[in-house]
């Protein structure tokens, strides 16, 4: 990623941090990159019950700000505002607390702690920096140190 793109991301993130809380929303991620379709500024928002209406509203607010302040500096780019989705990443301990009871997939850095590298189960509990995952299939609880989590995301259980 080039410095110009990083600077644009940082400016958009800073602006969003100032306006989204008034809408009951928070910034999840901002990326600006060249894709097959051209330049894309992707803003991912989050919050309770966030949906299409909120995405549309935030898109309008950010689009107007970008145009007024010439933040991007390119004539042709697409602004996309979306939510993290059903398979959203769990990036910090607060995400595990927020989604307690939800089904997830956790990939560990070190398999020794749980006897396996990947766990699929329910977020049962979060205490200090320990996340407890309940695997329904084996009826087992796994107590995982948050620092041992390489990657985690919610999953839709079938």
Query: What is the model's pLDDT at position 111?
Result: 86
- Please check whether residues 73 and 109 belong to one and the same domain: no
Is residue 63 a part of any domain in this protein? yes
Number of structural domains (the chain) is 2
- Please check whether residues 11 and 67 belong to one and the same domain: yes
Q: What is the 3-state secondary structure (H, E, C) of the chain?
A: CCHHHHHHHHHHHHHHHHHHHHHCCEEEEEEEEEECCEEEEEEEEECCCCCHHHHHHHHHHHHHHHHHHCCCCCCCCEEEEECCCCCCECCCHHHHHHCCCCEEEEEECCHHHCCCCEEEEEEEEEECCEEEEEECCCCEEEEEEHHHEEEEEECCCC
Could you tell me the CATH number of the domain that includes residue 33?
A: 3.30.300.70
Could you tell me the CATH number of the domain that includes residue 131?
A: 2.30.30.100
Model confidence, pTM: 0.82
Q: Among 38-42, 64-68, 69-73, 127-131, whose mean pLDDT is lowest?
A: 69-73
- Please check whether residues 64 and 103 belong to one and the same domain: no
Query: What is the model's pLDDT at position 1?
Result: 60
- Please check whether residues 64 and 127 belong to one and the same domain: no
- Choosing from 52, 82, 112, the residue where a domain stops is 82
- Choosing from 82, 109, 136, the residue where a domain stops is 82
Query: What is the model's pLDDT at position 85?
Result: 92
The stretch 106-117 carries a mean pLDDT of: 88
- Please check whether residues 57 and 105 belong to one and the same domain: no
Is residue 87 a part of any domain in this protein? no
> How does the average pLDDT of the chain come out, rounded?
93
Q: Is the pLDDT of residue 4 over 70?
A: yes
- Please check whether residues 18 and 78 belong to one and the same domain: yes
> Which domain does 114 fall in, by range?
93-154
Is residue 88 a part of any domain in this protein? no
């Amino acid at each position: 990623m080039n410095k110009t793109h990083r600077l644009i991301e940082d400016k958009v993130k800073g602006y969003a941090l100032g306006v989204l809380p008034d809408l009951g929303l928070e910034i999840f991620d901002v990326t600006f990159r060249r894709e097959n379709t051209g330049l894309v500024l992707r803003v991912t928002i989050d919050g309770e019950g966030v949906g299409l209406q909120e995405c549309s509203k935030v898109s309008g607010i950010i689009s107007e700000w970008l145009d007024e302040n010439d933040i991007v500096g390119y004539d042709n780019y697409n602004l996309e505002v979306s939510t993290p989705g059903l398979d959203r990443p769990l990036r910090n301990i607060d995400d595990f607390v927020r989604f307690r009871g939800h089904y997830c997939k956790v990939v560990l850095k070190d398999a020794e702690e749980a006897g396996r590298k990947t766990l699929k189960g329910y977020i049962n509990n979060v205490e200090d920096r320990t996340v407890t995952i309940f695997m329904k299939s084996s009826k087992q609880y796994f107590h995982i140190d948050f620092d041992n989590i390489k990657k985690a995301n919610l999953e839709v259980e079938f």
